[in-house]
């Protein structure tokens, strides 16, 4: 019986319920209840990941291994180590049950092999989520109370400000420290320029182009993008807190957690709880304004209420507008095609209908478009013709005489040769281990009868030598078995690539654009364009043939 152990902790620590301690406790449980040796135990650890979602690397790896029945029992130290979400927990349990894998939670003593155990686990998961939601409510309540003071609660400061500690005495007379935003004059000049130019140009696209052409950079030294410009323009932190901004924020649906009298035109505005960070602080999502916690800040406002409100109304009007682009149902290479000169993505742009009534589009470098050709002037690629050329080349790759097919066949022969050699060596090691273990048993048996003889010390020495040899052979055997498994996986991947290419070529005329796009992204790492030639790079860094489709001369 194969045992799997899963451990998780949101933050790194070597104390208490660290992932290491969870694993050790689970190992002891497995040894006591399943009589399994440690070598039969698979370990999955996620350090620094919340249980609020299943987007955790080792959790995902564990569920993939569950599908291939690499283990029969999953052990966790505590129920909420697996998940804190009822929905995720229920889905995980259904998945494990589908593959007949039992689940044990040591702390709660639940075992899914019994109906009562399954019922109790669902109940416990409900309480785990309730505890999490209650904690979230407490955090929000605390945030509201702190917001009323106008302080900065931490994190990355907005452009134009830095965080400054301020010491004060609380109601009990104790000295405390809070933080407030203080201005950075040069950065605030940039912010004022961004607001003024946006009102002049009335377009985020044109504002982005202006910043790129004039080499204006963010506080981190990178080019401004539409997203970063929108964040600055929509941030209430710059607005002067007066009666006009108060009324506008109320109209937007914001909850304001201070008296209207404080909106007297003296300070700026603080909006807390504006963004929601993804798992492990990855993606950032802007919350709806109804979830914001708004109050008057302890810093000075820098943009007049009239100007800030005009900008917000203009952003709302332009919300549905974006770059002129081709519908995703048409082009194939968006997100795959890159400019070879500057490394930027090339995006599809609309063109015209030709004499046959076919809609013509082309791919343009993002940096070229943003900078109006001042930072990149690579020629556009004719989208229809380039897409067709890429599809034809991928079809050709499936042919038996193609370079890729020959490479795959050569790699498979090399893998098989290596596997044969590994299997022979594995057999030799297994024979050697078996012979050594038999010899050790015989020597131990002889030693038990001749404990008082002069030969005893030589027998003990020989046993130690054989035991050391056996340990070395076992280590080597383990590495060879891992190499064998890695080669098997590589061989399977080669078969998958070959079958995918063959299937795609056979069914090309039957599938829609979305299916073609999905196939391309599953096998192609990138396609580069140098203004004349396109080059395909398959996953693994393998370059394909250079293609020279006709280009759009723009």
Query: What CATH number did the domain enclosing 56 receive?
Result: 3.40.50.1390
Which DSSP state fits 67?
A: H
- As a whole number of angstroms, the distance between CA 295 and CA 3 comes to 53
Does 309 share its domain with 342?
Answer: no
- As a whole number of angstroms, the distance between CA 431 and CA 384 comes to 63
Q: Are 252 and 239 in contact (CB under 8 A)?
A: no
**pTM (whole model) above 0.75:** no
Q: Are 143 and 293 in contact (CB under 8 A)?
A: yes
Does 340 share its domain with 487?
Answer: yes
Does residue 478 fall inside a structural domain?
Answer: yes
Q: DSSP string covering 479-516, please?
A: HHHHHHHHHHHHHHHHHHHHHHHHHHHHHGGGS-HHHH
| Residue 324: predicted pLDDT | 46
- As a whole number of angstroms, the distance between CA 416 and CA 422 comes to 10
What are the E-state strand segments in 21-122?
A: 41-47, 73-76, 102-105, 110-111
Does 340 share its domain with 472?
Answer: yes
Residues in the chain: 554
- The last residue of a domain, from among 267, 300, 317: 317
- As a whole number of angstroms, the distance between CA 367 and CA 341 comes to 10
- As a whole number of angstroms, the distance between CA 389 and CA 220 comes to 40
Does 126 share its domain with 182?
Answer: no
| Residue 551: predicted pLDDT | 47
Does 365 share its domain with 505?
Answer: yes
Does residue 212 fall inside a structural domain?
Answer: no
- As a whole number of angstroms, the distance between CA 201 and CA 218 comes to 20
- The last residue of a domain, from among 144, 178, 212: 144
60: left (phi over 0), alpha (psi -120 to 50) or beta: alpha
Q: 383-397 and 403-449 helices cross at what angle (nearest 10)? A: 50
| Residue 154 half-sphere exposure toward CB, CA atoms < 13 A | 4
Q: Are 128 and 80 in contact (CB under 8 A)?
A: yes
Does residue 227 fall inside a structural domain?
Answer: no
- As a whole number of angstroms, the distance between CA 346 and CA 508 comes to 25
Does residue 195 fall inside a structural domain?
Answer: no
- The last residue of a domain, from among 144, 174, 209: 144
Q: Are 363 and 333 in contact (CB under 8 A)?
A: yes
Handedness of CA 149, 154, 159, 163 (dihedral sign): positive
Structural domains in the chain (count)? 3
| Residue 285: predicted pLDDT | 67
Range of the domain at 283: 161-190+235-317
Residue 42, strand partner residues: 4
Which DSSP state fits 253?
A: T
205: left (phi over 0), alpha (psi -120 to 50) or beta: alpha
Exposure string of 275-291, with b = 16+ CB inside 10 Å and e = fewer, is eeeeeeeeeeeeeebee
Q: Are 207 and 225 in contact (CB under 8 A)?
A: no
Does residue 226 fall inside a structural domain?
Answer: no
- As a whole number of angstroms, the distance between CA 112 and CA 287 comes to 39
Does 300 share its domain with 339?
Answer: no
CA 164 to chain centre: 33
Do the bridges between strand 381-382 and strand 524-529 make them parallel or antiparallel, or are there none, so unpaired?
A: unpaired
Q: Are 272 and 153 in contact (CB under 8 A)?
A: yes
Q: Which helix (H) or strand (E) holds 33?
A: helix 19-34
| Residue 3: predicted pLDDT | 92
- As a whole number of angstroms, the distance between CA 274 and CA 554 comes to 42
Does 456 share its domain with 512?
Answer: yes
Does residue 60 fall inside a structural domain?
Answer: yes
Q: Are 311 and 199 in contact (CB under 8 A)?
A: yes
Does 469 share its domain with 523?
Answer: yes
Does 304 share its domain with 378?
Answer: no
Does 344 share its domain with 282?
Answer: no
Does 386 share its domain with 312?
Answer: no
CA-to-CA separations, 549 to 274, 357, 455, in angstroms, rounded: 47, 21, 84
Does residue 204 fall inside a structural domain?
Answer: no
Q: Which helix (H) or strand (E) holds 166?
A: strand 161-169
Q: Are 396 and 547 in contact (CB under 8 A)?
A: no
Q: What is the pLDDT along the chain (554 residues), one digit of tens a residue?
A: 789 999 988 765 544 467 888 888 888 888 888 866 666 789 999 888 888 788 888 999 999 999 988 999 999 988 788 887 766 777 788 788 788 888 888 887 777 766 656 665 555 555 555 666 666 666 666 666 666 677 787 778 899 999 888 887 777 778 878 888 899 999 999 999 999 999 999 989 899 989 988 889 998 888 898 888 999 999 999 999 999 999 999 888 888 888 889 999 989 998 887 776 544 444 456 777 777 888 888 889 999 999 999 999 998 887 645 444 445 557 888 888 999 999 999 988 876 777 777 788 889 998 888 888 888 989 999 988 898 888 888 777 777 777 777 777 888 899 999 999 999 999 999 999 999 989 888 888 877 776 666 778 888 888 889 989 999 999 899 899 888 888 888 887 777 777 766 766 676 666 677 777 777 777 788 899 998 888 888 765 454 555 555 444 44
Residue with tokens 């297994």: 430
- As a whole number of angstroms, the distance between CA 378 and CA 553 comes to 10
Q: Are 150 and 295 in contact (CB under 8 A)?
A: yes
Does 86 share its domain with 168?
Answer: no
Does residue 229 fall inside a structural domain?
Answer: no
* Residue 277: strand, helix, or coil: strand
Give the residue among 340, 38, 333 at the shortest CA–CA distance from 349: 333
- As a whole number of angstroms, the distance between CA 130 and CA 124 comes to 10
């Amino acid at each position: 019986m194969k045992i799997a152990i899963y451990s998780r902790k949101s933050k790194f620590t070597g104390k208490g319920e660290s992932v290491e301690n969870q694993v050790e406790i689970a190992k002891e449980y497995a040894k006591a209840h399943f009589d399994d040796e440690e070598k039969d135990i698979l370990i999955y650890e996620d350090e620094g990941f919340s249980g609020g979602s299943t987007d955790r690397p080792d959790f995902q790896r564990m569920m993939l291994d569950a599908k291939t029945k690499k283990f029969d029992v999953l052990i966790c130290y505590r129920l909420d180590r697996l998940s804190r979400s009822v929905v995720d927990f229920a889905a995980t349990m259904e998945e494990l049950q589908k593959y007949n894998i039992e689940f044990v939670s040591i702390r709660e003593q639940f075992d899914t092999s019994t109906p009562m155990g399954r019922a109790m686990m669902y109940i416990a998961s409900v309480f785990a989520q309730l505890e999490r939601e209650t904690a979230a409510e407490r955090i929000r309540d605390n945030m509201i109370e702190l917001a009323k003071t106008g302080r900065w609660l931490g994190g990355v400061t907005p452009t134009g400000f830095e965080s400054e500690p301020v010491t004060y005495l609380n109601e009990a007379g104790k000295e405390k420290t809070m933080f407030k935003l203080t201005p950075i004059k040069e950065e605030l000049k940039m912010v004022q320029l961004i607001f003024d130019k946006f009102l002049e140009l009335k377009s985020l696209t044109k504002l982005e182009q202006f910043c790129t052409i004039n080499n204006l950079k963010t506080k981190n030294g990178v080019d401004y993008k539409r997203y970063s410009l929108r964040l600055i323009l929509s941030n209430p932190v710059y607005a002067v807190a007066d009666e006009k901004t108060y009324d506008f924020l109320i109209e937007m649906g914001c909850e304001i957690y201070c008296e209207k009298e404080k909106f007297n035109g003296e300070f700026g505005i603080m909006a807390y709880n504006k963004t929601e960070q993804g798992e492990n602080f990855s993606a950032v999502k802007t919350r709806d304004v109804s979830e914001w916690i708004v109050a008057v800040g302890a810093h000075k406002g820098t943009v007049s209420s009239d100007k800030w409100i005009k900008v917000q109304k203009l952003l709302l009007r332009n919300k549905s507008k974006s770059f002129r682009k081709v519908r995703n149902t048409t082009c194939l290479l968006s997100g795959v095609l890159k400019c070879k000169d500057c490394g930027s993505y090339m995006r599809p742009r609309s063109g015209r209908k030709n004499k046959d009534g076919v809609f013509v589009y082309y791919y343009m470098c993002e940096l070229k478009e943003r900078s109006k050709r001042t930072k990149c002037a690579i020629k556009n690629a004719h989208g229809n013709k380039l897409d067709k050329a890429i599809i034809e080349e991928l079809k050709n790759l499936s042919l038996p005489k193609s370079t890729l097919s020959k490479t795959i066949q050569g790699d498979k022969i090399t893998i098989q040769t290596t596997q044969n050699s590994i299997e022979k060596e594995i057999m030799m090691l297994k024979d050697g281990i078996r012979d050594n273990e038999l010899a050790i048993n015989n020597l131990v048996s002889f030693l038990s009868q001749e404990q008082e003889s002069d030969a005893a010390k030589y027998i003990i020495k020989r046993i130690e030598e054989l035991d050391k040899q056996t340990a070395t052979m076992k280590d080597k055997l383990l590495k060879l078995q891992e190499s064998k498994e890695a080669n098997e996986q590589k061989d399977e991947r080669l078969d998958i690539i070959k079958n995918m290419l063959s299937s795609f070529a056979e069914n090309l005329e039957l599938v829609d654009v979305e299916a073609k796009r999905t196939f391309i992204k599953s096998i192609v790492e990138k396609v580069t364009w140098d203004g004349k030639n396109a080059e395909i790079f398959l996953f693994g860094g393998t370059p394909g043939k250079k293609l020279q489709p006709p280009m759009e001369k723009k």
